[in-house]
Amino acid sequence: MMNKLNKLPIVFFAFAVTAFSFSGFRTPPAQVSFKCLVQLTNYSGEGAYVVVSLIDSKGKYKKTLQIFGKEKRWYDDLTSWFNYYTSAKENVDGVSGASITAGGRKVFSINTDDTVFNKGYKLRFETAVENKEYEEKDVEMDFSEVNVGKTVSGTGYIRYVKLIKNP
């Protein structure tokens, strides 16, 4: 009887290791890290509200990466993103910053897992300026190696965007 009890911890340990191995445990995906420069044109008017989103291959919003513009009362001027933001109830408090003035520039970090890099996702930069036109796709670029280190021109308030991979 004592012999069977002595083997019980070994059997339990083997069962636990096997169950843990087959429980769907996976190592987390590798991380990718970038610096992103946003340079605005010299338009006349108030500072631009800029939102940067991750968009999937079907054009659907997946995540808000950055917001430049602190006052939430102006978020609805970024029409397409605002519809996503209100329906997804996404928490973006930690990524907000001041709006960008005409001719100004901002640098921010993008840190995400590699399941979205080189996988058909896009970065969308939407802009809005008080009493001016809203630019839904001021810049929309593939989130891929092809755009790293390149200058991508905007169509509205953004002069260009540049994505630089962190070492």
pLDDT tens digit string along 31-87?
999 999 999 999 999 999 999 999 999 999 999 999 999 888 999 999 999 999 999
| Residues 19-33: tens digit of each pLDDT | 444 456 677 889 999
Continuous segment of H or E residues that includes residue 28 = none
Check pLDDT > 80 for residue 14: no
pLDDT, tens only, 119-150: 999 999 999 999 999 999 999 999 999 999 99
Nearest alpha-carbon partner for 55 in 143, 162, 159, 156: 143
Rounded to an integer, what distance in angstroms lies between the CA atom of residue 131 and that of residue 128? 9
Residue 97 has what pLDDT?
Answer: 79
Beta bridge partners of 56: none
At 18, the amino acid letter reads T
User: Which of helix, strand or coil describes residue 145?
Assistant: helix
Distance CA 163, CA 149 (A): 6
For 28-165, which CATH class? mainly beta
Nearest to 41 by CA among 103, 117, 132: 103
25-31 long-range contacts (CB < 8 A, ≥24 apart) are 28/113, 29/113, 29/114, 29/115, 30/113, 30/114, 31/111, 31/112, 31/113, 31/114
CA distance 99 to 105: 10
What token pair was written down for 133?
């036109």
Nearest to 50 by CA among 115, 161, 127: 127
Q: Which two tokens stand for residue 80?
A: 């397409």
**Count of CA atoms in the C-beta half-sphere (13 A) of 82:** 14
